[in-house]
Amino acid sequence: MKDLPSRIKDLAMQRIDILLENALKNARDNMKLAQRQASIARRICMKFNIRLPYEKRQLFCKGCKKFIVPGLNALVRVESRPKAIRIKCLECGHVYRKIIERKISDQNLNISNDEDKLQKA
């Protein structure tokens, strides 16, 4: 694939951000519109070869590629042993599991810190 000027990629990323932001806003009232906005965002990603950051990537089901929102059409659970996040798509039933390592959890979530305190107390 030919190299695209970075400003076009920047523009594409801005559009993806706007589309996903609106999709999240609309998800509760108008899921159909949200799905459409998200699928357009996903198509732009593919066209411009853009890899979404993790928090945006998890808005799409790994199975059916649909837009999934926790609390609406996705179930998010935290498993304790091993520490993992489990995201279940309620559209197709696909379960995505991400194991949280100690290092990552120290940075992003303070779960392990709290546990350390509990053990000392």
Dihedral sign computed on CA atoms, order 81, 60, 68, 91: negative
> What 3-state class would DSSP assign to 85?
strand
Please report how close the Cβ of residue 112 comes to Zn ion at its closest, in angstroms. Answer: 30
Query: Which residue carries 């279940």 as its tokens?
Result: 88
The least CB distance from residue 113 to Zn ion, in Å, is 33
- Please, what is the minimum distance in Å from the beta carbon of residue 62 to Zn ion? 7
Nearer to Zn ion, 12 or 87 (CB): 87
Judged by beta carbon, residue 83 or residue 88, the one nearer Zn ion is 88
Token pair, residue 52, equals: 């979404």
CB atoms within 10 A of CB 63: 15
Cβ distance to Zn ion smaller for residue 12 or 61: 61
Shortest Å, Cβ 92 to Zn ion = 3
Q: Return the SS3 of 87.
A: strand
Helix (H, G, I), strand (E, B) or coil at 77: strand
Closer residue to Zn ion, CB minimum distance, 56 or 63? 63
Using CB under 5 A, list all residues that contact Zn ion. 61, 63-64, 89, 91-92, 94
